[in-house]
């Protein structure tokens, strides 16, 4: 159940009569966010995870990421990752470059591009380049409640190399960021395989938050 506002609202300042500029939110130690992951092929929940903010070294936070339940039992447990408050991206130790789901301040029409490499296995390297755009304000409903959000859409390409084999594909992501609570409340991800066929597709939704 939603346990109050887990972060002060993002500051929103006028930049003209037609647009508002949404600033980065402020967090505090002990805040916790719980999400569920839905496999969009199966239309069912396959994982539930929490993110607990611990200590800050501006602009990053040390966040305990706990897998509470999963269809893949090897994923259960807790790990610590660094969270960038300016982009809301996590720094996975297997990643080089910078993953930027958001880029504050936000306003409809804003765009940015980012690239990163991901070493998923010792013999497998994935190189990703994406372009993001804040497209519009949109109302969204998730288990934690109803929110007015900024919709942020990512489109991009990846190249995967595994041993002597390589292939390319597409990645699309959509984020719904709610300024009133300072976090993404829903996210959808889809990619294609080397033949251009949809492969992974999933949706994360905010279930609860604790101040």
pLDDT in tens, 95-115: 888 899 999 999 999 999 999
Rounded CA gap, 54 and 86, in Å?
Answer: 17
pLDDT in tens, 140-173: 999 999 999 999 999 999 999 999 899 999 999 9
Flag residues of the chain having pLDDT under 70.
1-19
How much is the pLDDT for 59? 86
Rounded CA gap, 144 and 2, in Å?
Answer: 5
Q: Answer whether 194's CB lies under 8 Å from 208's CB.
A: no
Rounded CA gap, 70 and 105, in Å?
Answer: 34
The continuous run of DSSP H or E covering 185 comes out as strand 183-192
Paired strand residues for 54: none
Enumerate residues 6+ apart whose C-beta is below 8 A from 112.
Answer: 100, 103, 131, 132
Q: Answer whether 118's CB lies under 8 Å from 126's CB.
A: yes
Ordered domains of the chain (ranges, CATH)? 12-210 (2.40.360.20)
């Amino acid at each position: 159940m939603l346990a109050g506002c887990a972060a002060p609202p993002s500051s929103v300042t006028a930049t003209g009569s037609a647009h508002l500029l949404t600033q980065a939110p402020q967090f505090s130690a002990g805040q916790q966010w719980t999400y569920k992951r839905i496999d969009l092929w199966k239309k069912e929940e396959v994982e539930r995870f929490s993110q607990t903010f611990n200590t800050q070294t501006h602009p990053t936070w040390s966040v305990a990421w706990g897998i509470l339940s999963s269809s893949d039992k090897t994923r259960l447990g807790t790990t610590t990752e660094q969270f960038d408050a300016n982009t809301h991206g996590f720094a996975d130790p297997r990643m080089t470059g910078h993953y930027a789901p958001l880029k504050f301040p936000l306003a409809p029409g804003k765009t940015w591009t980012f690239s990163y490499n991901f070493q998923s296995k010792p013999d497998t390297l994935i190189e990703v380049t994406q372009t993001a755009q804040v497209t519009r304000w949109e109302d969204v409903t998730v288990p934690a409640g109803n929110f007015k959000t900024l919709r942020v859409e990512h489109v991009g390409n990846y190249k995967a190399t595994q041993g002597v084999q390589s292939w390319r594909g597409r990645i699309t992501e959509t984020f719904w960021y709610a300024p009133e609570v300072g976090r993404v409340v829903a996210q959808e991800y889809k990619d294609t395989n080397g033949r251009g066929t949809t492969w992974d597709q999933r949706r994360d939704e905010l279930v609860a938050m604790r101040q």
